[in-house]
Structure 1
Amino acid sequence: MTTPIRLEESEAPISAADLDALERRFGFAFPLSFRTQYLKFNGGYLPEERMERQRMAFGGFEPIRYSTLPAETLYLDLLEAFPQLEGLFPFAHDQGGSSFLIALGERADLGRIYIWLMDGEELLPVADSFDEFVDLLWGE
């Protein structure tokens, strides 16, 4: 991913300092491509023409900081209910309300993207990296 994908209905912009503070709070570092995406578009939805061509039932990206339910609050809520998800940060959701998570911190699967199916409490791999995940959404 060389440039961020265009999203609609993003929340207020965040700064590099906002991301730095979030990383310090939870003790992990976001991949550069993830940071680049969020510094350009703080959450949001794919444009309608892209939604029609996507390869998965993607809903949208979760905003960080500026929202009634930001990604960092979702993370804390997930950890409270499912402690086994430590180090798996929710950054997006599908059309059914399941969360896409990125592996961060000291995890052996660092950078890998999963989907957490809440109904079955099942964690399934989606992509090996954030870049690969974006390619699944935006690729031609």
Structure 2
Amino acid sequence: MKNNEFYGCSQPLEDVDLDACEAVLRHKLPSEFRQHYLKYNGGVPEDSLIPGNDEWEPLEIAGFYPIRHRRSAAGSQSSLLIEHYQLMCAKDVIPDHLLPFAYDPGGNFFCLHLCDGSAHFYATDGFDPARSVAENFVKAQRRLAGSFKIFMDSLMHNSEYDSDEWPE
């Protein structure tokens, strides 16, 4: 993965922390995801922009959820990844195959698809009571990248962004 510095991270993790996370999820996490969290437990990426294209506006990451050791970049309490995942599933906000690992300034999620390892954007504010929960789940998500590595490699610094330079 390309080098992208993070700041405001929580205390470092060990493999056992990620193993416990996998046990709760009943899914193996992709190796790139594990490597990233061993280096940066939550925090805010220096390169935080996902470029837009003809169909979508650019997206910005406000922060990553820590797996253990609550702390956000501003020093306030931050949700732990697994607790947040379990709460969002229990409230039928997200389907159980999407793991929210990061969030945007509006409270929407960047998720890891637990079955295929792809990265998705998940809009939390588009619930339509006329649709079923399953239909709302489908409508709320957009695939961003085929893997966590591709997702991370696509992040840009705001100063680098040019809307005419959408990476293929």
TM-score range, shorter chain: 0.7 to 0.9
What is the aligned-residue RMSD (CA, Å)? 2.0
Which structure is higher in helix share? Answer: 1
Greater radius of gyration (CA):
2
1:22 is matched with 21
Q: 1:87 pairs with 87, 97, 102, which one? A: 97
User: Quick one: percent identity of the two aligned structures?
Assistant: 31
Matched, 1:75 2:85: yes
Change (3 A) 1:18 1:41: same
**SS of 2:153 mapped into structure 1:** helix
Distance 1:18 1:74 in 2: 16
Please show how residues 54-73 of structure 1 align to structure 2 within 5 Å: 55=51, 56-67=59-70, 68=77, 69-73=79-83
Change (3 A) 1:14 1:4: farther
**SS of 1:134 mapped into structure 2:** helix
Matched, 1:119 2:118: no
- TM-score (norm. length: structure 2): 0.71
The alpha-carbon deviation at position 27 of structure 1 amounts to 0.5
Aligned partner of 2:90: which letter? E
Change (3 A) 1:36 1:4: farther
The alignment of Structure 1 onto Structure 2 pairs a total of residues equal to 132
Distance 1:84 1:132 in 2: 23
Unaligned runs of 5+ in 2: 52-58, 71-76, 128-139, 161-168
Runs of 4+ in 1 over 6 A off after TM superposition: none
The alpha-carbon deviation at position 99 of structure 1 amounts to 0.7
Alpha carbons 2:93, 2:124 under 8 Å: kept? no
1:33 is matched with 32
- TM-score (norm. length: structure 1): 0.84
1:49-83 alpha-carbon deviations (Å, 9 max, x no partner): x34x6533221111112114101011001101127
